[in-house]
Amino acid sequence: MTKDILHITNGDSLTDRLHQLALIDGDCFVWREMLCEGPTLIRTESLESLQNRKEFLEKYYRITPNDYEQKFVSQLSKLDDRKRYKEIILWFEYDLFCHMNMVAAISLLLRKGFEKVPIFLVCSGRIEGESKCFGLNELSDSQLITHLKNKKQLTVDDLQLASHIWTLYCEENPNKIAGQIKASSSFEYLSICLKAHLERFPNAKTGLNTLETNILKMIDTYQIKNMKQLMGYALEYQGFYGYGDMQMKRIIAKLFQFLDQTGEQLILSERGKLVLQEKKNFYNTTAADWYYGGVNKYHYLYNTDTRNLMKL
């Protein structure tokens, strides 16, 4: 490792671990954002974008503007000198949360003039002999070292595709993203993440999206005693979304009308049962000011038969 390498990591826990293993010898940009949620603009570094993010994060996640300045905005200056680095290594995981941060980071790097600097990706996911996907910080020390050795150099086409997807995500027509699902690239999990993104829009039959419906199915299937246990199930079995505690808590809070608490167990309310039976649409009782990039979540409906979005 040399000092002219920049590592862009997906969080503090991983960064601390990489330092402990002496895998970072150079600069590190910790990408402390969650761009899969809330309004976004293409130019993440612009004053308008930063102000929008501050307002969103403070309103819904109680992250203060000062905290955002210190933890994210302050690091943007590391990209001001395009001649400073001879290599950039991206550390992002297999899920939608990380992939939206990753494509935004790549878009930013290209705007900053790093298109001629070799950019590599270290991405976790499937492990031979294991049934589940693993986050980078779930890997053993030897696995993490091996992942770094096997890092993929991103091609010009890869970089342009990532930047293009970020642009589409920030626009008002999410159907354009559907056209990129089959795009060939070095991003092994990009296609499934884009599919997961489209399924975040409300089901045309019920008004709830795929993840919300799956959470109700968990309540119907397992003997879940309380909200804390439900949170554990939702985080463990969420699939490719990659949400953390804060995001999942916000999602579950919108589902209260669909569940009841008995003495010892969470159960579905009558409304919850109707959702799983697909006998009633609850769009009007769930619609809210909820943004994914450039579009309000409730301005489109997801058709599970055609797997397309319908604009309202």
pLDDT single digits (tens) 117-126: 999 999 999 9
Domain spanning 203-286 has what CATH number? 1.10.10.10
Given a cut of 70, whether residue 299 has pLDDT beyond it is: yes
| 3-state helix/strand/coil string of 109-162 | HHHCCCCCCCEEEEECCECCCCCCECCHHHCCHHHHHHHHHCCEECCHHHHHHH
Euclidean distance between the first and the last CA atom of the chain, given in angstroms as a whole number: 52
pLDDT single digits (tens) 238-295: 999 999 999 999 999 999 999 998 888 999 999 999 999 999 999 999 988 999 999 9
- What pLDDT is recorded for position 2? 57
Tell the CATH topology of 5-197: Dna Topoisomerase Vi A Subunit; Chain: A, domain 2 (3.40.1360)
- What pLDDT is recorded for position 31? 97
Surface-to-core class of residue 212, CB atoms within 10 Å of its CB (0-12 exposed, 13-18 middle, 19+ buried): buried
Q: Do domains 5-197 and 203-286 have the same CATH topology?
A: no
pLDDT single digits (tens) 114-169: 999 999 999 999 988 888 899 999 999 999 999 999 999 999 999 999 999 999 99
Q: Where are the domains of the chain?
A: 5-197, 203-286
